[in-house]
Chain A
């Protein structure tokens, strides 16, 4: 890590750096070249899917592309997707914010328990939820069913950040509102809700991106979105221009969402001003509203957690011990765990140079690198998978359908989860500590290992766990990229439930939920600490 461990003339080391135009106190003037190279390589790789979409659109030719894009079929898919978003996103915001407010700001009985229960649907993959509903009510289909299942699966994406923000909101601000003559409702609408803007816009963006990217949940109820249509096209024509053009429309939709969210979020900062310890938020007495509030949360919990768990349990019971005693189940569990571990390790390793640059050498370069990874991770798994299939077949045919390529897809999709945690961890290991070790006679590389790596290890582990969770529940990219014969819990569950073998699929669903539950709890705990930072 030291710029010059070997004797070198001082004059050959000019000051001034790419990444640090204004040298802050104690900032080294330039990051090591190897570090920049590694981070740029990652950023370049993360731009492959976007590059693929652009290149494919150009290669197809404008006329063909227009003809493919301006088909009635595209209009139909667009209509479906827009209707789904228009219904689901507001419902998720309503459930998420309402639930968060009840749990964090009212004298709701059992609010600690409710806080966890409302976050629990996150541990149930959307396609498992869909399977539970469709196996119980086979007539479910169309946009309303899609909305029901998507809302129940995705509202925690709004609930968790909203609850975390509400828990940290300074009650003095609300008291100021009250002292200015606002009633409780007016305080909520005019003081509390505006402060939730970042949580709501961020959560709504995540919900919308999930709606665009989800395949399994909608395919199960035969509701056509861009992603299900691309999968269908890919299945029938393998690498057709039609699938690619649908993918470019999908990517355009994702980028548009990112832009809209950036607009809505604006440059708003709702940090607390002033110093001193913050008071504990006061809780609004519910009075006669206690029973209706409990009933409303009970309905949400029953639909989002009770129904899927109950139905999965019923199918497993109906299958008896026989469905557990298959060799496939063990193999799928093994490969899910193995892929999850590989993906987690790879994403953490790849995130390291970017996180290190961002923390130690913050500047335009590091910001750009982070942005590149952020955009890629917003792309649907199907687009990333299509891009990797095409690129590998054209340039490295040997890589197609290898574990390496599948892990690469996981890294591109889930890198930010590792990145966010590593960043937080590395900022707990300031450069001064590494220098203190050097001044105590430790060579630079050893000082880095003994101090910086050691101190950021817990955060790295947290990030790795979240990547693991995502990999275990990943279906779309795994279907396209997994090596022949490799079956994960998700893909095996998928093929069994597609064959309407609901009993056989149940153990896979239970294992996925069991693996996800602790990680979801971890995510929930982390959000409480991260809000407000």
Chain B
């Protein structure tokens, strides 16, 4: 249960405690950490296309890592290299400190790595029970009874009862198929589980429920998990380590709170959620912009910068020197997205910008009427990126 976070992360981001949340295991990690998976300088090309351009990634035992990136960024290829379906062109992959790719090669069926594919990849010619029993160790589970008992146990683990044993995969819903694919992969008691966008084919409600159910099973069993996804909300809510991938490289690795609130660059910021980007002038740790003076934590640049804020950091206040005019709004039910034009100002190099249009979120639709003047305040810190 410790792995579970509630709701989509971006909306709740600002409501979280300002301290970065660190996974329990990571917090206690000494120098010689218990790495379960180590990837060192891995590259892979298909013909002229460089898919992976030097990947370094380590995953703690019993940790949950999400590799998130837009489609075509190479994340599925990386997962397939870990599973052993493909071999890297260069670099090494170690499982439990043992080299499985690089100098020595261990094929997929000898790696004891669980793998759940995008659509579950259940064998259509086998029943649910036969699917789950497919990978069972024949020496350990002798006889029909032992197998049947173990299959039922595995189905219970994913919250399905024994009546599913005789069903065929095509008779099941997408979420059930995914849970059975997980039960099948758990049958061999793998120490590491690879999930390749296992929730993306499900519709929105089912996706969250299935993600929670699967996360709970894996956390309970203490299985190290690597999830590949293009859905940033899924990555942020599922994992205790998020690795952001772009163009065959990992551009940022960190816990979900850190990568969301302090992204490494503008592209990462915009990929992980909505971002308000303003021209600003940074002196020390204070950035001057159209929304006033915003604190910036550990700035790496000074002077002319681009300041990034999350929309939920900008609140409508009853009294504030900063004002804006509502242009229009989109009503979503629980919250509204409001477009606001900040006032024009005379050119001033020390406070760049003026007249920007920003989009914020607000829960009270009645507050937002076109032409209305609103007082605004900023909560928390901003992130400064060098001007490109």
Contact = CB atoms under 8 A, between A and B. Distances in A.
Nearest to A24: B46
Contact of B135 (A430, A441, A443): A441
B85 interface: yes
A455 B124 contact: yes
Interface string A404-440: 0000000000000000000000001010110111111
A436 B105 contact: no
B44 to A, nearest CB: 7
A23 interface: yes
Contact of A439 (B44, B51, B118, B185): B185
B117 interface: yes
A15 B121 contact: no
Interface in B42-93: 44-49, 51, 76, 80, 83-91
Given A10-B88, A432-B117, A438 B108 contact: yes
A235 interface: no
Interface residues of B, number: 47
Given A15-B89, A435-B83, A442 B109 contact: yes
B76 A4 contact: no
A252 B89 CA distance: 49
A23 B50 CA distance: 11
Contacts of A454: 125
Interface in A440-495: 440-444, 447, 451, 454-455
Nearest to A436: B121
A441 to B, nearest CB: 5
Contact of A16 (B45, B103, B137, B181): B45
B46 A23 contact: yes
B124 to A, nearest CB: 7
A397 B293 CA distance: 96
B47 A17 contact: yes
Contacts of B188: 440-441
Given A7-B104, A432-B121, A451-B123, A444 B109 contact: yes
Interface string B202-232: 0000000000000000000000000000000
A27 B119 CA distance: 17
Contacts of B80: 26
Contacts of A20: 46-47
Given A16-B45, A16-B48, A440 B87 contact: no
A446 to B, nearest CB: 9
A369 B137 CA distance: 42
A51 interface: no
Given A10-B87, A455-B125, A441 B112 contact: yes
A444 B44 CA distance: 22
Given A3-B87, A10-B88, A440 B135 contact: yes
A72 B80 CA distance: 68
Contact of A438 (B48, B51, B107): B107
A28 B135 CA distance: 24
A499 interface: no
Interface string A24-39: 0111110000000000
A17 B115 CA distance: 26
Given A22-B49, A26-B80, A441 B109 contact: yes
CB-based closest 7 A-B pairs = A440-B135, A23-B46, A439-B115, A16-B47, A438-B108, A436-B121, A15-B45
Interface of A: 2-11, 13-17, 20-23, 25-29, 428, 430, 432-433, 435-444, 447, 451, 454-455
8 contacts: A4-B87, A22-B49, A432-B118, A439-B84, A440-B185, A441-B188, A444-B108, A444-B109
Given A438-B84, A441-B188, 4 more contacts: A23-B51, A27-B46, A439-B108, A455-B123
